[in-house]
């Protein structure tokens, strides 16, 4: 099976630690079948699937040319949610407060990927951090099950985006191929 690639916001270690603490209690009472390794936590910007080296290089060049106009992102993790059927969700995720700079960054990365010849899923961008997959409980999932885990808002700064390669038979699964630093306020022209 070919490796798949995707661009994502890399999360700081402090946030990964908070997410790990939050999910520790969930694991015993929310029977999802697969929990994401803490080092695989990220915010996906563009999923590419299998890719040719030349396409990846072109997308990387385009992103490198434009990334300097983006500042470090001040973001806030403040809720949990699910995707899929209400009573049998396929994904449990940590939510990020709405951030226009994050949406602008996603639009830039997606545009570069399209220009490099990739076909992207064009569903609306819903920034999130996947925590677990595939509900495996005997009883139906209910949104109220997440209420006891509601977090205090956790502000964090995202200072880079990365191109990840998937390695399905390794843990963690995602390997950094290329990294792009967002500009610090002092480094902006």
Judged by DSSP in three states, 143 sits in helix
Q: How many residues does the chain have?
A: 189
CB 96, CB 77: distance < 8 Å? yes
Residues 122-148, buried b or exposed e (16+ Cβ, 10 A)? eeebebbbbbbbebeeeeebeeebbee
Q: DSSP of 11-54, one letter per residue? A: PPHHHHHHHHHHHHHHHHHS-EEEEPPGGG-EEEEEEEES--HH
Helix (H) or strand (E) holding 102, with range, is helix 100-115
Query: Annotated active-site positions, please?
Result: 42, 128
Distance CA 101, CA 16 (A): 21
């Amino acid at each position: 099976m070919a490796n798949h690639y995707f661009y994502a916001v890399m999360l700081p270690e402090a946030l990964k630690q908070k997410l790990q603490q939050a999910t520790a209690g969930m694991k015993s009472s929310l029977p999802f079948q697969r929990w994401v390794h803490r080092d695989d936590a990220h915010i996906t910007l563009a999923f590419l699937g299998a890719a040719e080296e030349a396409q990846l290089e072109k997308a990387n060049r385009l992103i490198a040319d434009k990334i300097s106009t983006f500042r470090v992102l001040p973001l806030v993790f403040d809720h949990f949610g699910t995707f899929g059927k209400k009573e049998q969700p396929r994904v449990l995720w940590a939510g990020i407060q709405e951030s226009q700079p994050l949406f602008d960054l996603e639009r830039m990365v997606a545009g570069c990927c399209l220009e490099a010849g990739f076909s992207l899923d064009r569903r609306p961008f819903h920034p999130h951090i996947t925590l677990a997959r595939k509900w495996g409980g005997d009883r139906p999932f209910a949104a109220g099950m997440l209420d006891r885990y509601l977090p205090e808002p956790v502000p964090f700064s995202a200072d880079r985006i990365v191109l990840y390669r998937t390695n399905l038979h390794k843990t963690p699964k995602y390997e950094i191929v290329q990294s792009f630093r967002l500009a610090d306020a002092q480094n902006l022209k």
